[in-house]
Amino acid sequence: MNQGNREFLMELLNTPSPSSREMAIQKKWINYVKNFADEIRTDNAGNAIGVLNPNAPFKVLLAGHCDEIALVINRIDDDGFLHFDKMGGINPKAAVGMKVTILGFNDRATGVIGVNAQHHGGLKDDFNLEDLFIDCGYKSKEEAEKYVQIGDLAVYKTEPEVLMDRYISGRGLDNRTGAFIIAEVLKQLSEKGCNVGVYAVSTVNEETNMGGAYFAAAGLEPTMAIACDVTFSTDYPAVNKNKHGDVRLEDGPVLAKGAPVNIKINQLLEKTARQLNMKVQYELTPRMTGTDADRMRMTGPGVPVSLVSLPLRYMHSPVETSSLKDIDEEIELLVTMLGNLTGEESLNPLD
């Protein structure tokens, strides 16, 4: 990963993009991709789409969702404390004691998620989000309402960090790394050339309803689609590998195996990995993948899908951690695989 690429990744990771409020990050993604895409498109869901070879009949949709989990303000009490629900899969235990940025209707504000002092009994073992609150320093409901209203969103106030020039850690790597990867795939393919139409889509709303993926696939009607997301790495203490599998950082991209996944696409990915002498890992998705692939697959007459994932430690926490090497390898795998396509491939498993 060169310095320019890394700066773009950091820019994405530093941009709040809670599900339903992805506009700021999408504008930055478009501003980057427009330099090498043949076309830039958007849709009414808020997806940002970079296109290569728009006239090619064989169309590949690459989806990487740009939204992140967040908190949504649902009550302001008389003393000015903000109470909240979750927008996506928030872990209450990870929220305790965190700083947050409120994306208020009037301006941004900094707050802290307060917690009952241990001296006063602390938190009960089975606490949930209803037991937590945000303190922005407001002294009353009237003062708070000058800056915040019901439905405003908040994200953890953290900055991405590079660890040992090897790993990257921060909030929302799930899945702004995917939005980064598909942009870089499009960039490299624009330089190397390809025989098929490639539609890189920075999708919205994956963390809440996957509506962006539906709009993208229904609108583009692709020949095939690949979701580029993250998956659970299990290479840290206290993870039961017998139950959750053995997936490691720096051991390569992760391919999904299961009923939703098109076998022919996976075979193309595996063939490419062998060509590159690249290790790949596997995860099982027997019924659903839990990603944009599920919604894309069910559009129109049906779309053959696959899922390529980045191993990620500490999913849905403020310190999600992944490998820069794995990011580079996933980009290389996809660029080479798509560059090898002739546009005549059959994705029918019975052919």
CA angle, 349 then 245 then 275, to 5°: 50
One-character DSSP codes across 220-280:
H--SEEEEEEEEE---STT--HHHH----TTS--EEEESTTS-HHHHHHHHHHHHHTT---
* 179 vs 173: CA distance, rounded Å: 10
Which positions ≥6 away from 3 have C-beta within 8 Å? none
206 as an active site residue: the answer is yes
Query: Which is catalytic among the residues 22, 206, 283, 320?
Result: 206
The residues pairing with 68 across neighbouring beta strands, listed in sequence order, are: 18
* 252 vs 333: CA distance, rounded Å: 10
CA neighbor of 113 nearest in space, from 89, 136, 90, 87? 136
What's 303's DSSP letter?
A: -
Q: Where are the beta strands (DSSP E) in the chain?
A: 39-42, 48-52, 59-65, 70-76, 82-87, 99-103, 108-114, 133-135, 153-156, 161-163, 167-170, 197-203, 224-232, 254-257, 281-284, 305-312, 320-323
CA neighbor of 326 nearest in space, from 246, 229, 241? 229
One-character DSSP codes across 262-278:
-HHHHHHHHHHHHHTT-
- Does the annotation flag 270 for ligand binding? no
The strands making up 197-203's β-sheet, listed across from edge to edge, are 39-42, 48-52, 197-203, 59-65, 224-232, 305-312, 254-257, 281-284
- Does the annotation flag 174 for ligand binding? yes
* 171 vs 156: CA distance, rounded Å: 7
- Does the annotation flag 120 for ligand binding? no
Maximal C-alpha separation, the chain:
69
- For the annotated binding site for Zn(2+), the residues are 65, 174, 207, 229, 316
The catalytic residue positions are: 206
